[in-house]
Amino acid sequence: MRGVATEGTLMPTKEAQGGIVKEADEVSCWPLDRPLPENARLLAAGAYAGRELEFQIDSSGHRATQIDVVVNITDAPVVLMLGAYEPTVWAISWTEGSRLAGILVSGNHRQVVAGLPDAIPVIESTQENRYRCGSFYVAEDHLHELNPVARQVFGRPVEMVYLAKEGRVVVGADLPPDAVLLHGATIDPDALRLPGTPLAGAAGLAEAERLGLLRKATIKDAQGWVEAYRRHQPKIDAPPVSGETTEKPLHPTLHNAYVVLREFTYPAGLYGGNMATFYVPLGVPAPKGNPGHSTVFDIATGTCQGAMCKAL
């Protein structure tokens, strides 16, 4: 997305001031008896998720994402339906002459719209408020969710859908190389980080190591778990076989491995390439949260949790 970001004022259209939308605390949703102006364009944009951020914005345990939305429509006021499954920060900007009447945003997790003047109404319909205006998110396999909500809320179907790619979407015509983008306020996604939650993924692990919650694991830690595992196995009264050992060799992984030193909460987003290995020593409380695809070796009980345990 090219262009120069500057601050600007995007005032509601006169039609919006006349009652298309109301503030969230005034009504449960946008009422059908207050229809959109005849020339308003009802458009939708979004994706399953945007580009990943290094923190959480809600208590779901999911890593936050961000989608940058540029509105480039100057021939009519625009109402946007924005939707993503994952917790998402929507950074809104627009081109000179674009007019925005309001935004309805939905998703399974928290959705935050940033970059708009306070005068532009934003209505959230998420799991947090029991989907008071209906549930939807914008993806190719979820397009069927849009029109039922649009008809219920606005009395008309969505005119066009714009799918975000790599956390960016232009609503309207493609931007020229010299496009100047306006926004109502400086957008600082970091300010939306949920207090008390760790950073996500690799950044969260590095932060925990700096804080002394974790240390890098060694072969000695892995061997300590093997010994604990053997101590907790039931004794089998069976004779040995000549030339074979009675003990199965075990090879606990040391891939991206850490020892948990004290109370610790797993960072969000420990999936795929961000998965890790954790060794929890005797006397250390079990970590809180969601380990994702990670493997957890509990030395106190000699147990293993995670998909990689099958490869031991």
Q: Span 184-209, mean pLDDT?
A: 85
Q: Is residue 133 part of a domain?
A: yes
CA distances from 262 to 58, 277, 288, 290 (A): 24, 16, 11, 17
Q: Are residues 176 and 277 in the same domain?
A: no
Which H helix or E strand runs over 113?
strand 111-114
Q: Are residues 218 and 89 in the same domain?
A: no
What are the E-state strand segments in 127-203?
Answer: 160-163, 168-172, 180-183
Q: Among 39-53, 132-146, 188-202, which is the least confidently predicted range?
A: 188-202
Q: Is residue 238 part of a domain?
A: no
Q: Are residues 142 and 226 in the same domain?
A: no
Q: Are residues 266 and 290 in the same domain?
A: yes
- Whole-model pTM: value is 0.74
Q: Is residue 242 part of a domain?
A: no
Residue 216: is its pLDDT beyond 90? yes
Q: Are residues 169 and 205 in the same domain?
A: no
Distance between start and end Cα atoms, the chain: 47
- Specify whether the CB–CB gap between 185 and 115 falls below 8 A: yes
The CA distance from 51 to 67, in Å, is 7
* Mean pLDDT comparison of 120-124, 194-198, 225-229, highest-scoring range: 225-229
Q: Is residue 239 part of a domain?
A: no
Q: Are residues 127 and 170 in the same domain?
A: yes
Q: Are residues 213 and 175 in the same domain?
A: no
Q: Span 35-52, mean pLDDT?
A: 90
- Amino acid at site 30: W
Which residues, at least 6 apart from 310, have a Cβ–Cβ distance to it below 8 Å?
none
Q: Are residues 50 and 167 in the same domain?
A: yes
